[in-house]
Amino acid sequence: MTATTLFGLCGAALVGLGLFGVVVHPQPLRKILAFNLLGGGVFLLFGAIARRGAAAGMGADPVPQAMVITGIVVAFSATALAVALVLRLFEATGGASLNSDPPRTEPAAGPDG
Amino acid sequence: MSALGNFAGGFVTVVAVTAGAFFFLAGTAGLLRFPDPLTRLHALTKADNLGLGLIVLGLLPRATGWLDGLKLIAVWLLAQLVGATVTQIIARVARRDGGTA
Amino acid sequence: MTVGFAFDAGLAVLVLGVAVWTIAARAAFAAVVGFVTFGLLLALVWVRLAAVDVALTEAAIGSGVTGAVLIGAAARLRPTEAASAAERPGAAMRLAAGALSVLVALALAALVLFPPDPAPTLAPQAALHLAALDVGNPVTAVLLAYRAVDTLLEKVVLLLALLGVWSLAPDRFWGGAAVPAVRPDSGGALVFLARVLPPVGIVVGVYILWVGAIAPGGAFQGGAILAAMWILSMMTGLTGAPEIGRLPLRLLLVAGPAAFLLVGLAGFAVADGFLSYPAAIAKSLIIAIEAALTLSIAVILGLLVAGPPSREPRHRDAGHRPAGHGEAGR
Amino acid sequence: MAEFLLIAAGFVLAMVALGLARVLRGPTDADRIMAAQLLGSGGIAALLLLASATGVSSAIDVALTLALLAAFAAAAFVRATARPESGDDGRAGGQ
């Protein structure tokens, strides 16, 4: 097994792990974290593909690398937006539940902006 | 560089990097064994300052140009500055919270 | 088994271990710290995969700036953790989610283990025109020449995300500034660092941008470092967050994409079409676009971290934004 | 020599991993934030060793970036922990 395969497998495992976290964690912040892990796994898969495509004197295929760089930046902006949404939810309702009918949080959902 | 210089450089590298790695070992031992956040912080600074500093010192003879050498030193200086600040502000929080979560 | 492979195997195990911790940790704050260390380790992995450009991006954005956002959020959301814990899905649901995740991971692992045999690669094509562009770093060439339209659209995505964050502000704060949490007790040490570090950071950021033409680096990485310095100074209250209604700020935000777009449209006139550069000045154009992009990226990233405005604009009529009267519509 | 440097990088990383396992578990958040700091310096050391061992000198730039941003986690931590327990005035006397 080569190091490239190894990191590719690591990426596959990260995708599974992140997916599990996204589904199972009730807290939105934990979902965001898990989603970022999932993204990291996808990026690693790209990295393994890029490394396999080493040719023409380059250590790795530059096209997947460029895609990953773009992806990291976009993932960050999505994370920042998601975090801002959660914080706004917290400000407005005093909680951070994604549950559509909160079973036993404070029913004081009236006077907010 | 002469063969003698090469040998001397290699010698410096091996000794300094080994010593640096030792301080990372010492720092980890401290983290594992010390009883409270402030003492663990103390252990952490050993890895920060001495470990990284010695490793940079060891790598300097192998730098491939003056710019690389300069960057190595810059990394160490930055790590010193940031490490000193960070440990101080963590220590303040640890003391304020009085060791409780 | 070589030393190199042993190192890589250890690194992979460490990455997975930290990832498991991020998912499994009980407290959200512990999970976030786990995620920050995950980002740091990924930077090492990227170096091992011969993708130093990506390593730089990961170190600056993936770990540094994202970490700042998440740590702040985890501390503020701490009061909600107990309530959310009660919403944990049942055992059957978790089992199903686990099975799905394992299935997906196995399918991806199969792809990794049985890849197409002559590995598909665009490296030779990328190398073909490098000399004509006079750009030594193939990744920069892909980002700003071969697939420049992707990069342009990505800038638009960043702007849209920023608009999304801003739109979360209550109406009366529209056009105002995010209030930096100035904490006198955050200590003289941090303020000292926020004074000393930015000059160094600006030099490094510009260097990373400049060197991106011939070696790993470029607009994203340089911009992220510049943004980080600005954020540090906002965090300590040395500089206030800007009011988002200000025209100069808005111009700065669109400077990068606008420069990109102008050069792209000029391509119709002087070269072969949209976003194609005349060969003689390709390198100068790329560096000019990158410089404008770097500034825009730095400002956008900084504002994304600062969050939505939470203070009324100081000169309400100077804002002259119709959106400022949104409350009247309610 | 390259092998020696690679082994050293692996050793540093292993030490950091051990320390990480300890501080991530807490008990206090100050302990946990130490994990970021520890991996910051350990990661920088490992990167520099890797750069020298494999001749990829641009990895030094990655280390430089990490060193610049190493304070970020701790700064965000200090700023954030000051917020929930004290309002705007609670801690002002502590200066």
Give the DSSP letter of residue C63. I
B93 chain-D contacts, CB cut-off 8 A: 29-30, 77-78, 81
Question: What's the burial of C12, exposed, middle or buried (CB within 10 Å: 0-12/13-18/19+)?
Answer: buried
Interface A–C counts its CB contacts (< 8 A) at 293
C158 chain-A contacts, CB cut-off 8 A: 73-74, 77
Decide if pLDDT at A113 tops 60: no
Q: Do D1 and B13 count as a contact with CB atoms less than 8 A apart?
A: yes
A57-102 per-position pLDDT tens digit:
777 788 888 889 989 989 999 999 999 999 888 888 877 777 765 5
C15-36 per-position pLDDT tens digit:
999 999 999 888 888 889 889 9
Which tokens go with D63?
């280390």
Decide if pLDDT at C200 tops 70: yes
- Residue C176 to residue C173: CA distance in whole angstroms: 5
Mutate to test the interface with B, among C193, C200, C236 (most CBs of B within 10 A): C193
pLDDT > 70 fraction of chain D, expressed in percent and rounded: 85
pLDDT > 70 fraction of chain C, expressed in percent and rounded: 91
Annotate A66-102 with three-state secondary structure.
HHHHHHHHHHHHHHHHHHHHHHHHHHHHCCCCCCCCC
**Residue B40: φ, ψ to 5°:** -65, -35
C12 chain-A contacts, CB cut-off 8 A: 6-7, 9-10
Banded model confidence at residue C323, pLDDT cuts 50, 70, 90:
very low
Predicted pLDDT at A17: 93
The C-alpha of A110 sits at a distance from chain C's nearest C-alpha, in angstroms, of: 15
C44-96 per-position pLDDT tens digit:
999 998 888 899 999 988 778 888 889 888 888 887 777 776 777 778 888 88
Banded model confidence at residue A15, pLDDT cuts 50, 70, 90:
very high
C120: cis peptide before it, omega within 30°? Answer: no
Decide if pLDDT at A112 tops 60: no
Q: Which domain holds residue B66?
A: 2-100
Nearest CA in chain C to D53: C4
Q: How far is CA A94 from CA A15, A28, A103, C31, in A?
A: 32, 14, 15, 22
Q: How many domains does chain B have?
A: 1
3-state secondary structure of C296: helix
Q: Please tell me the pTM assigned to this model.
A: 0.87
Rounded to the nearest 10°, the torsion over CA C316, C320, C321, C326 is 50
- The position carrying tokens 């010593």 is B19
Q: Do C67 and D26 count as a contact with CB atoms less than 8 A apart?
A: no
- Residue D39 to residue C41: CA distance in whole angstroms: 8
On whether the CB atoms of residues D37 and D23 are closer than 8 A, the answer is no
Give the DSSP letter of residue C238. S
Decide if pLDDT at C6 tops 90: no
N-terminal to C-terminal alpha carbon distance within chain C: 70
Lowest model confidence (mean pLDDT) among A4-18, A93-107, B40-54, D27-41: A93-107
DSSP B36-96: SHHHHHHHHHHIIIIIHHHHHHHHGGG-SSHHHHHHHHHHHHHHHHHHHHHHHHHHHHHHH
Lowest model confidence (mean pLDDT) among B20-24, B94-98, C62-66, C306-310: B94-98
- The position carrying tokens 């400049």 is C210
Predicted pLDDT at C329: 37
Banded model confidence at residue A11, pLDDT cuts 50, 70, 90:
very high
Q: What is Dmax (Cα atoms) for chain A?
A: 64
Q: Do B89 and C192 count as a contact with CB atoms less than 8 A apart?
A: no
Predicted pLDDT at A37: 93
Interface B–D counts its CB contacts (< 8 A) at 148
N-terminal to C-terminal alpha carbon distance within chain B: 56
The C-alpha of D68 sits at a distance from chain C's nearest C-alpha, in angstroms, of: 7
Predicted pLDDT at C180: 60
Which has the higher per-residue pLDDT, B3 or A49? Answer: A49
ipTM (interface pTM)? 0.87
Decide if pLDDT at C237 tops 80: no
Q: How far is CA C232 from CA A109, C194, C241, in A?
A: 35, 6, 11
- Residue C92 to residue C155: CA distance in whole angstroms: 42
Q: How far is CA B48 from CA B28, B84, C50, D60, in A?
A: 11, 9, 27, 17
Please give the domain boundaries of chain A with CATH numbers for all domains: 3-95 (1.10.287.3510)
Decide if pLDDT at A104 tops 80: no
Give the DSSP letter of residue A27. S
- C26 at interface of B, judged by CB pairs closer than 8 A: no
- The position carrying tokens 């025109």 is C129
The C-alpha of A45 sits at a distance from chain C's nearest C-alpha, in angstroms, of: 8
The C-alpha of C178 sits at a distance from chain A's nearest C-alpha, in angstroms, of: 12
- The position carrying tokens 């050069």 is C263
On whether the CB atoms of residues C61 and C301 are closer than 8 A, the answer is yes
Q: Find the mean pLDDT for residues B69-88.
A: 88
Q: How far is CA A62 from CA B88, C45, C215, in A?
A: 42, 16, 12
- Residue from A14, D69, D63 nearest C301 by CA: D69
On whether the CB atoms of residues C254 and C296 are closer than 8 A, the answer is yes
On whether the CB atoms of residues C325 and A100 are closer than 8 A, the answer is no
- Residue C161 to residue C183: CA distance in whole angstroms: 28
The minimal CB distance from C97 to the residues A24, A57, A95 is found for A24
- A110 contacts: CB under 8 Å, gap ≥ 6: none
Q: Find the mean pLDDT for residues A45-58.
A: 81
Decide if pLDDT at C315 tops 70: no
